[in-house]
Each structure stands twice: as structure tokens, then as C-alpha cells.
Amino acid sequence: AVPRRLCILKGIYPHEPKHKKKVNKGSTAARTFYLLKDIKFLLHEPIVNKFREYKVFVRKLRKAYGKSEWSTVDRLKDNKPTYKLDHIVKERYPTFVDALRDLDDALSMCFLFSTFPRTGKCHVQTIQLCRRLAVEFLNYVIASRSLRKVFLSIKGIYYQAEVLGQPVTWITPYTFAHDHPTDVDYRVMATFTEFYTTLLGFVNFRLYHSLNLLYPPKIDGQADVELKPTEGKEYAMDSESYLEKLSALSASLARVVAPAHEDEVEMDEFPVEGETAEQMDARKKEQEALEKHKKLFEGLRFFLNREVPREPLAFVIRCFGGQVSWDKSLCIGATYDVSDPSITHQIVDRPRVEQQVVGRYYLQPQWVFDSVNAKLCLPVADYFPGVLLPPHLSPFVTEQEGDYVPPEKLKLLAMQRGENPDEESEEEEEEEEEQEEEEDDNDKEEEEEDESEKEEEMKLKKMEEQKAQSNKALPVKVTAGKLRLEDRQRLEQEQQSEEKRLAIMMMKKREKYLYKKIMFGKKRKVREANKLAAKRKAHDSAVREEKKKSKKARRA
Amino acid sequence: PPWHPGVHLHETVSPALTPRPSAPLQDIRNTVGNIPMEWYQDFPHIGYDLEGKRIYKPIRNKDELDMFLEKMENPDYWRTVQDKMTGADIKLTDEQVDLVHRLQKGQFGDVHFNPYEPAVDFFTHEVMIHPVTNRPADKRSFIPSLIEKEKVSKLVHAIKMGWIKPRKPKDSAPTYYDLWAHEDPNSILGRHKMHVPAPKMKLPGHEESYNPPPEYLLSEEEKLAWEQQEPDERKLNFVPQQYRCLRAVPAYSRFIHERFERCLDLYLCPRQRKMRVNVDPEELIPKLPKPRDLQPFPTTQALVYRGHTSLVRCLSVSPSGQWLASGSDDCTVRFWEVCTARCMKTLPVGGVVKSVAWNPNPAVCLVAIGVEQSVLLVNPCLGDKLLYGATDQVLESYVAPEEERVQPVQWVTATMEEHSKGVRLVVQHSKAVKQVTWHGKGDYFASVVSDNSNMQVLIHQTSKRWSQNPFRKSKGLVQCVLFHPVRPYFFVATQRYVRIYNLLKQELTKKLMTNCKWVSSMAIHPGGDNVICGSYDSKLAWFDLDLSTRPYQMLRHHKRALRSVAFHKHYPLFASGSDDGTVIVCHGMVYNDLLQNPLLVPVKVLKGHALTLDLGVLDVLFHPTQPWVFSSGADGTVRLYT
């Protein structure tokens, strides 16, 4: 009977009791338990009174409607009680860093709500507010260039930004109409959104001010826009054009203070105690790599074709310093035309491009995302329109020792280290193919050889067994002993493993259980990795087979 | 006929439609009143006249054809109407028809009524010089209204009190400011220390990509398995899929669901801080001295003694270590030379051999064999001729006492035939003998009989051919008994306890709790202060008698029931044989220092016996002088490990 809304807003969550039976009157049925302390804490909340007022308001309004007292209805509606969540935000997140740490869900929710249709489901104001806050946040990320990773998943697009040292991850759905499920309680989501919008508003304010930007963001060079207001008018109404322009993500924002020329002050180095020169060096290198990553697309001019998702691409490209434009009819804020000769990359997502312009690359959108994740501009050849794309890997996975690493990732890591394995590997592949063809003929022979070897081994084994038995049998037959070459290392290993086995026997029961559990987990991991590797191998061999066949067909 | 009590008889109204009595002679009126006429539907009459006679309806027997003919022939058919009240046909007059027409058009019934009379204004728009009424104005029209004043003052009060806000500026857009401008560490609530932040959502792996590496795609079987799993049990909550290009990626149908579930998790899931066990499994393994440093101990199988055709139940080594006796289910006892694995002698005993024990006295060459209901004392005639000759002499020098004493068993001298085989004495029990064991001096031996009474354990003296029953009461099923190697103690192992009796004082000194379900075997450290117990629930309990009556350590090395345990006489070794076919040799160092606990380290797992009939090793035994161990198994072999 705990008011749901209050719990959501105040962030009160149930607890698992230490003795379930004791608290639950002897039964072990699943029940949620709140701490008494928490509930008492809720009672002191001033917003409880506001909720009561609201309840009274609803009752009065219903009564007035019933009596058809329209003037009363108007008056009541004018004085609808409202409440603010500012103090709750402050209370739940006493420091700004706390708020940043908990921003993931807020952002994901706001991005989801901003894509809702403006009918039914929830209030239009909420949707508009969500859209506004989301766009503001995107603009901040662009201005601060804090985007780090992007991932196109089948669920949506994941972004990870590093805001003031805190990683903030959010997911946006692909821009399609939602198939609204019926088994979802939108009121719960709306309550969460209510809190999240408040939180995100304050966070945005603070973030903008940390960059010396005006908070309700203003587009830089407002004068230019004002000169030609006609452009906006055909696209949207005056009231909306502002947000639309902002959400086009093409213009930079106005600053409170004009940006100083030397923005990058050389950071003084304070050697931390206990830090070796090597560590310092590594840190410096990391810093440099980060700077380089931030300027990944600096100087490149992109043009987005109309079939590619504009907002994510524009956002990502702008985050890394690239310039971006699109068809004028697609969205407001296009800065240059398709025919602009200075365009270096055109993002295209169609199988074939008629009328290619010389001097620019035509690329599929995955190139942008993969480049961002790889922290370098990848070779363009794999991403031409109509080409079978290389797999898109998750940037969130960091493989540990013993994990399965897909070969593409290995290639990428090599590329990041500055090697260029591409050509070599291709050559190798061809060589391999040739070799394989030769091998095909040899295979049979080899197999035969293998078999004969096996047979010999079997014979030897049998002999040994016989010997072992005959040793004990009475009619002693002395045969010339064979010098068994003893592998020192193997012996040593065997001995060690035996020692370990014996030591395991001496473990205490509880420790043995724990040990077995850990070992089981490890083994499972290895098994899974092996499975993936085997799958990959099978797939590769199948592909190669196909290739060979097609090659032969071509030859014939 | 129906009767209507409350209905007045009266004429129906409707002046226009009331039929003028066309025939004055027959005055048929409605006598039933204003009632639903269908009540009389099925009767030939309607109502009653003054005399109480029925007023009959006019007879109607026209069928469709008659009706049609009448319609064709009668010129007044169209103006004929049936009066429902009386049932008579009425022909409408011209006036009546006219009236009907007018009403149908929506005109007034009265012909002479003019609906369009010229309008005469009561008040003209022209201002007159005289008032309409001559009434003088009220006083209240000159003074301000009190009611209005009251209403206004109420409004003013409400505004003053803030109940009504006149023309409040509407500002629905939330205002934001720097909420964290003054971060005051003191204002942080204490409960924040206890706050458990919600764990973040799991970040996606390669398999969630729209274009994952091919190995992450599910194969057909995996997909099927995924579909058959419960949604909660699935490892991935989606099926990895591959799309050719970004354009082909559809919307994810469960996006809202997932957000919603996250919301539910955030406010409905109990949160708890869990200490993650971050242990290096290698650190869990106890640091033990290396077996290599604890040598010598048996490591390899050196000899196999073949010859028995059935399970070899028991083993015994001569005190010199030269001979080995083994008793088997094939009803023989075989004597082997240890070093050559040669069977020196086979003694058929005519029964399953349960126990064999070599006399520990090196000056005597005598083996006690438990067969069925008797214990045979056998001189195997092996080794030094002087020695076994002396043994025979000692046995023959027995002089029977004058008075016959009552004994629980019978001592019988062997017959000539038996004597030639080596049997010297037969001690006949009343029940089957389970175990025989010698006292360290070699004169006394104890036998265990499978029985429930107090006669389970008997102690015999060879030189006097005399037996006694030490216990008055049975304390449970005795599994095995042992003499203390140096002191006059006697160990009796029942199913769950080991009792230690002082033979001199004739009292119970200690009772060891084994914590096992069923003790199978027992061995005493040559020092005499430590005991090990093997049990059928695959545990081995080490007791330090100085420490406590509970096991100092329980070793669960074997996977199946332990059959036998043994200590080495000189080396700090003990071994256990089990049904899983292995013999585990452990280093068991006992220190003279009372403060230092015994050190137990398993040093070797010896395998060799094949499992037969679900039995593995049945007996283990150490060589008296060398670090060698013998084991006898259900596969009919005896093996020596050196």
C-alpha cells in the first residue's frame, strides 16, 4: 500500500530482509519489503501535501462538472495545484557528480518519450519537454565533443559520452512509429519521466554553464538567421522553428563569453606521488590519443543522402569536428548543397549510385560509426555502396584474457597499433588458397600416412601391454628393453598436476565447493569461447569453399 | 369473460372521431371504458349492457378475397375506419376527412383559426413620455446592494488570502537554475551512505549488433532452444540478427517493454549489496609440503600376486616381512614370498576366509585364520626351520589344567590330516568369526563374532588355550577390535563409536565419536596416541587421543566406501583402500611435541585394482620394515606398491 508515485520520485526501493521467514510471519512467499525507516522518511516529504491538494482539486473539479458550474470549473482549472521536484533532485543527488552517474536512464527515457506520437499515451507538453531537453543535451555533447562510442544495435543506437569524467550511456530507438504495447503501464513511465525531465533540465543548465554557453541555448550567429527568416517559415511555424533549428544540430551555440583564441592551455603536470615516469608517459599518450580522437573528422565535409538517418549521423559527425549537410528539403539547417565541390564524403545507403561526382567518397553509414569506434578513419574500400559490409562490432566489449575475440577485432587492434595487416593477409589468403588446391591432391596421401602411423602406434601399445603382463607371468621372457625417452617437461607437469590434485583433496568442504564453482565457471567460459571459435571456423571454411567454387566456375 | 373492477363505464371522448349513431335504434356504446382493447381480442363480444348481457362485436368473417372485392366495389372503402372500441365500421364524414387532411399537413384543427394575425407590440420601440407602470422607484435602487457587497468582499478576501489568483501569469515551462551551486557536504542526508545505487544496464555485446560477426548468429537448433526456453531463463533477450545495410534495420518491437521493465526494476526490485567473491582459486588450495619432500612412500606398482580365483578379503605379513598370507573367498589361504611373488603354499580351509592375522611375535611362526565358525591357528612352516619347529614345540608343550573350566569356545587340537597341512589348533566358536587380531606380545588374540549378544568379542590366550568374554553387555554391532600396541588398552569399534577399554582396570576409558554413519575399519598409530577410522560413507577420521574424542580431521579423499585402513610401523605413513579401486597413501606425521598437531598430507593415489562386483580394494597393509604397501582387491589379486 505504499504510494507508487512517491516511491518513484523519492527513489525508495524495497529491501531484501535478512530473515525472510521472521518478517513474513513464517511464510516464505514472495513479498516486497520496505524499510520502516524509508516509509517514515516518505511521510516528511512536503510533496505529500501537494498530492493531497491535487486529490482535492480533482474532487472539486468533478463536482463542479457534475453541477455544470462552468465558471467554477474555469476558476478551478486556473488554480490547478502544481508541484516542483527541484528539492527532491537535490536531495537524491547531493552533488552534481551523483546526478551525472545516474543520467543513463534519464537520457534513455527522455529520448524514448521524445519519439512518442503527440496523441494519447501522455501529455503533449511532456513530449515537447523531453524533446527539448534531449536536443539540448545532444548540443552540449557536440559543443564539448565528449562523445566516445557509438553502437548500432538491433534495438537502437547506443551512445556513450564522457561527461566531466563520467561515462554516460544512452540508447535511442530507430525513428519508426512505435507499436504501443498494451501490457505496459504508461503512468509509471510518465512518473519516471517527470522526475527525469527535472533532473535533466538542471543537469543541462549546469553543463551549459560549465562550457560558458547560454542556457536556453541560442544558435550562434543569430543575425544571419534573422536575415533570411523566409527559409525557416516554409518549413515550420515561428514558434517551432527555433527548436527545429536547434535539433538540426548543424549550428554551433552562442557563448556567454567569446571563446578565447588559445583555448587549449598547456596542462601543467603535477607528478602524482608514487607514479613512475612510465605511468606518466602512458597518461600523456592517452591524453594525446584522446585529443586526436576528438578531432577525428576535422576538416572533412560530409553530405547525407536522404535515405540515411540524419539525426544520429549529423550528431556523430559534428561531435568529431566534421561538417555536415543534407538535402534542403529533408530538414532545416542545411548548410551546403550536394553539388558543393568541397564535399569529401557522401553518406549513401543505396545499392548503387548513379552520377557519381569525382572527388568524393561514396560511403555507407557504418563507416562513420566504425571509424569513431576505431578512433581512426578506416580504409574506405570496405564501405563502398553495394559492398558486403564488414561486421559492426560492439565498442563496449573489452576482451579479457581467455575470452573469444572475433578476428575482425584482432585486425582492428593491429590497425590501431599502426600495423597494416590488410595487404599481407590478403596475399596470405591467396597463397593459402593456392596451397589448399595443392593440398587437395596431397590430402588423400596424407590421410593414408596418418592411418599407417596410427596402426603402428596401436601395435606398439599392444606390445607394451603384453610386456607389462608377461613381466608378472611366470614364464619370464626377457625382451630387449626399449629406451623410453622421457619428456622432462611433461613429467614435471604431470607431477605438478598430481600435487595439485592431492592438495585439492585436502581442502575444506566449503572451500572445495567454492573452488569447484569457480573452476566450473571458468570452464564454461572457455567452452563458450571455443564454441564461437569453432562456429567461426566452420563459417569461414564454408565461405572459402563457396569462393573456390565460384572461381572454378569462372575458370571453366 | 374479463371483469374490470376499477374501470368506470363512460363514453370515450374524441368528439371528432366519435361516430354519430348512424342507426338510432342500435345504441352501441363502449361499455368497457378506457382499457387495452386486446383484452377482448379473442372474445366475440366487447363489454356488457345494462342487463348484464354481452354486447357482441359485429360479425367479421371477411377473408382476403372479400376484402379485396369490397375494396374494389365499395366507393367509400377509403373512408371506412374500424372503431376499435366497439369493433364497428365507421364511415367518415367529409368534415372528418378534411380535419384529418389538415392535421396531416400540420395545420390547426380549427378551420377558422388564423395563425398569421398581425402582430401588435406591447412595448413600442418609440420612447413614450409616460412610464408603463406608474409605480415609484424603490429605495433600494438608489443605494448599493448589500448582497453584492458581500459577494465582492468575499472575492476580495479570497484574493487577499491567495485562494483566488486573478489573472495569474501562466508559465507552464519549468525554470531551471544552478541547483548544485552550493554543494554543502553537511546537507547530505545520512541515508545517502546507505543508499544502494541501481546497477547500470548491461552494455551490449557483439551479438546485439545489426551486423554481427557470423559466429554470433544462432544456428537453427540454438534458435529452437531459445524459443523453448522460458523468457526469464534466456541468456539473451533477443535473437541476434544480421541486416545487409543500415537501411534494412527495422524498429525493435520490444523497446518500450524494455524501458518499462527497467523502470519496474528501478522501483520494485529489492537492492542488496552483495560481496562478490573475488578469490583466486589457486589461493584456495592449501599450501602443503610437496610430496617429494615427504619421501619415502610407495609410488609404483611393483608386483602382482596372482593365484586367487575370487575376492581376496584379507592380508597379513609375517613380522619379518618375508612372507605374506592372503585369505580369499575361494576358500583358500595362500602364502607368498613377498619379494618374488611366488605362492609358497596353498591351504584349503573349506570356507570363506574372513580374516588372517600373523602372530606379531618374531619368535613364533603362527597365523590365525578366521574361517566360518572357527579360528584356525596355522603354522605355515615357512622360513627358519628352527623357528617353526620351536613354535610347534611350544604348542605341544601345553598341559591341560586339572579342573576343566567353562569356556565360551572349544579348543580342539587338529587331526593328523589337518596337522600335515599345518593346522595346529582349532578354536570353535558358536557363530561365524569376523575378525581375528593379535596382541603385540603374540600370546593373546581377540576374535569378533557376528552376533547381537554380549558374546561378540572374545579374547583368547594361546599358551593356556583359554578364552574369556570381556563384556557383560552388548554396546552395538562390533565392527572390529584392536589391541593397543604398547599399553593394556583394547579398542572396540561399533557402528558409530570407538570405545577404548583399559584391560587392567577393566573399565571404559574413552569413547570416540567418529561422526560417521558406519565404521568399517580402524588402525592405531604405532605410537598409540592416534587412531584412524575408515567408514562406509567414504570418510576417514583421524583421532588424536590426547586432543579430544572428536575427530581431529575428517578426510574425504575417496569417492566410495572405505574398506580398510592401515598405519606403517615405522614410517609416518597411512593408507586407505576403498571401493573406488584406489589406495590413497597419506603422510601422517605425529610429533612428540604435544603442542604441534599431526600433519596430514596425501602423497599418492595408487591405482591398479579393477572393479569387480562393485568392489575395489578390500584390504591394505604396510610392509613391516619397508615403505611398501600391499593391497588386495576384489579382482582376485594382491598388489605390492613400492
What span, in angstroms and rounded, lies between the C-alpha atoms of A385 and A375?
A: 22
A511 contacts in chain B (CB < 8 Å): 284
Q: Catalogue all structural domains in chain B, each as residue range(s) with its CATH number.
A: 25-90 (no CATH), 293-396+408-641 (2.130.10.10)
Q: Where are the alpha helices (DSSP H) in B356-499?
A: 385-396, 416-421
Nearest CB among B192, B244, B266 relative to A105 is that of B266
Q: Are A246 and A135 in contact (CB under 8 A)?
A: yes
From chain B, the residues in CB contact with A408 under 8 A are 213
Residues of chain B contacting A349 with CB distance shorter than 8 Å: 245-247
Helix (H/G/I), strand (E/B), else coil: B404: coil
Q: For B206-225, what is the mean pLDDT?
A: 88
B513: left (phi over 0), alpha (psi -120 to 50) or beta: beta
Q: In whole angstroms, how far apart are CA B402 and each of B285, B399, B463?
A: 68, 9, 16
Q: DSSP for B293-350?
A: GG-----SEEEEE---SS-EEEEEE-TTSSEEEEEETTSEEEEEETTTTEEEEEEE-S
Q: Is the dihedral of CA B574, B580, B582, B587 positive or negative?
A: negative
Kindly state whether A86 is in contact with chain B, defined as any CB-CB distance less than 8 angstroms: yes
Closest-CA residue of B relative to A160 is B203
Rg, Å, chain B Cα set: 61
Q: What is the pLDDT of residue A197?
A: 93
Give the chain A residue nearest B215 (alpha carbons): A536
| Half-sphere exposure at residue B594, Cβ-oriented, CA atoms within 13 angstroms | 4
Residues of A in contact with B555 (CB under 8 A): 505-506
B570 secondary structure, DSSP code:
S
Alpha helices per DSSP H over B136-274 = 146-161, 191-194, 220-228, 255-268
Which candidate, B451, B465, B457, places its Cα nearest to that of B483? B457
Is residue B567 within 8 A of residue B525, CB to CB? The reply is yes
Residue located via cell numbers 533532473: A199
Distance, CA of B213 to CA of B219 (rounded, Å):
13
Strand residues in A133-224 grouped as ranges (E): 147-152, 157-163, 166-172
What 3-state DSSP class applies to B493? strand
How close is the nearest chain B Cα to the Cα of A379, in Å? 18
Per-residue confidence in pLDDT tens, chain A, 556 aa: 458 888 899 888 888 888 888 887 878 777 888 888 888 888 888 888 888 999 999 999 999 999 999 989 988 888 888 888 888 998 888 888 888 988 999 999 999 999 988 877 788 888 988 988 998 899 888 888 889 999 999 999 999 999 888 899 999 999 888 888 888 888 899 999 999 999 999 999 999 888 888 877 777 654 444 444 444 444 445 556 666 777 776 666 666 554 444 344 444 555 555 556 777 788 888 888 888 888 888 888 888 888 888 889 988 988 888 888 888 887 777 778 888 888 888 888 888 888 888 888 888 899 999 988 888 888 888 888 888 888 888 888 887 777 788 888 888 888 877 766 554 444 444 444 444 444 444 444 444 445 555 565 666 666 655 555 544 444 455 566 666 666 778 888 888 888 888 888 778 888 888 888 888 988 998 998 898 889 888 888 998 998 888 888 887 6
CA gap A6, B625 in Å, rounded: 83
Cis bond upstream, residue B296 (ω within 30): yes
Residues of B in contact with A389 (CB under 8 A): 211, 244-245
How many C-beta neighbours within 10 Å does residue B41 have?
8
| In chain A, domain spans | 1-79, 85-221+239-248, 297-390, 397-422+517-546
Contact between chains at A515 and B262 (C-beta distance less than 8 A): no
pLDDT (0 to 100) of residue A34: 87
Residue A429 CA to residue A439 CA, distance in Å, equals 14
Q: Which residues of B touch A509 (CB under 8 A)?
A: 556
What pLDDT was estimated at residue B104?
A: 92
- Residue type present at position A506: M
Q: Does A79 touch chain B (CB under 8 A)?
A: yes
Q: Contacts of residue A180 in chain B, CB cutoff 8 Å?
A: 256
Q: C-alpha cell of B427?
A: 578354536
Option in B208, B212, B290 nearest A391 (CB): B212
Q: How far is CA B14 from CA B19, B20, B28, B47, B78, in A?
A: 10, 12, 16, 20, 21
pLDDT, tens digit, for every residue of B503-524?
Answer: 888 888 888 888 888 888 888 8
**Residue type at A363 in one-letter notation:** L
* Nearest chain A residue to B585, by CA: A502
What 8-state DSSP symbol labels residue B483? E
Q: Which residue of B has its CA nearest to A500?
A: B285
**Is the Cβ pair B204, A151 closer than 8 Å?**
yes
What is the layout of strands, in order, in the sheet containing B507-513? B478-483, B489-494, B497-502, B507-513
Q: Look at residue A482 in the predicted model and tell me its pLDDT.
A: 63
Q: How many CB atoms lie within 10 A of CB A536?
A: 17
- The CATH H-level superfamily of A297-390 is BRCT domain (3.40.50.10190)
pLDDT tens, residue by residue, B244-285: 888 888 989 889 999 999 999 998 888 888 877 677 777 777
Nearest CA in chain B to A531: B215
* Position with higher pLDDT, A472 vs B382: B382
Distance (Å, rounded) from C-alpha A463 to C-alpha A471? 12
Mean model confidence pLDDT for chain B: 82
ipTM associated with this complex: 0.81
CB B357 within 8 A of CB B437: yes
- Cα dihedral: A257, A262, A264, A265 (round 10): -100
Test A154 with B238 for CB contact under 8 angstroms. yes
Structural contact between residues A218 and A247, judged by C-beta atoms closer than 8 angstroms: no
CB contact under 8 A, A349 and B244: no
Report residue B152 as a C-alpha cell: 465582492
- Between A437 and B137, residue with greater pLDDT: B137
**H-type helices in A300-406, by residue range?**
310-319, 366-374
In three-state secondary structure terms, B263 is helix
Q: Are B301 and B640 in contact (CB under 8 A)?
A: yes
Instruction: Please count the residue pairs, one from chain A and one from chain B, whose beta carbons lie less than 8 angstroms apart.
Output: 272
Residue B305's nearest CA partner among B343, B278, B273 is B343
Which residues on adjacent β-strands are paired with residue A257?
A: none
Using an 8 Å CB-CB cutoff, list chain B residues near A154: 208-210, 238, 240-241, 243, 249, 252
A465 inside 8 A of chain B by CB: no
Cross-sheet strand order for the sheet of B433-438: B433-438, B444-449, B457-461, B466-468
Closest CA to A253 of A145, A168, A157: A145
Inter-chain contact B256–A396, Cβ cutoff 8 Å? no
User: CB of A114 within 8 A of CB of A130?
Assistant: yes
User: What totals of helices (H) and strands (E) does chain B contain, helices first?
Assistant: 9, 33
Q: What is the distance between the alpha carbons of residues B559 and A473, in angstroms, rounded to a whole number? A: 32
Structural contact between residues B325 and B335, judged by C-beta atoms closer than 8 angstroms: yes
β-sheet with A301-304: strand ranges across = A323-326, A301-304, A345-347, A361-363
The 3-state DSSP class for residue B620 equals: strand
- pLDDT over 50 (residue B349): yes
Position A455 scores a pLDDT of 61
Identify whether the C-beta of residue B410 lies closer than 8 Å to the C-beta of residue B373.
Answer: no
Distance from CA of B583 to the nearest CA of A (A): 13
Sheet holding B367-371, edge to edge: B353-358, B367-371, B374-378, B423-428, B410-413
- Whether residues B238 and A155 touch (CB distance < 8 A) is answered with yes
Report the phi/psi class of residue A386: left, alpha or beta, with left for phi > 0 and alpha for psi in -120 to 50. Answer: left
Give the C-alpha separation, A170 to A156, whole Å: 10
- Whether the CA torsion A89, A94, A95, A100 is positive or negative: it is negative
Query: Which residues in A lie closer than 8 A to residue B251 (C-beta atoms)?
Result: 173-174, 176-179
Per the DSSP assignment, residues forming a β-bridge with B524 are: B531
The CA distance from A95 to the nearest CA of chain B, in Å, is 6
Least-confidence region, from A172-181, B15-24, B135-144, B253-262: B15-24
Question: Could you give the 3-state DSSP secondary structure of residue A55?
Answer: helix
Band of pLDDT at residue B373, cut at 50, 70 and 90: confident
**Rounded to an integer, what distance in angstroms lies between the CA atom of residue A229 and that of residue A241?**
10
Q: Do A502 and B291 lie within an 8 Å CB cutoff?
A: yes
C-alpha B134/C-alpha A142 separation (Å) is 85
Give the model's pLDDT for residue A199.
93
Return phi, psi of residue B482, to 5°.
-150, 150
CA dist B235 and B293 (Å) reads 49
Residues A202, B177: C-beta atoms closer than 8 Å: yes
* Amino acid B306: pLDDT: 86
Compute the distance between CA of residue B100 and CA of residue B85 in angstroms, rounded to an integer: 19
Nearest to A176 by CA among B251, B254, B255, B257: B251
Three cell numbers at B224?
Answer: 529452437
State the best of B263, B265, B293, B640 to mutate against chain A, taking most chain A CBs within 10 Å.
B263
| CB count in 10 Å sphere of residue A171 | 22
Q: Determine the Cα–Cα distance for residues A365 and A330; give it in Å rounded to an integer.
A: 17
The closest alpha carbon to A293, from A111, A160, A101, A153, belongs to A160
User: How many whole angstroms separate alpha carbon A538 and alpha carbon A522?
Assistant: 24
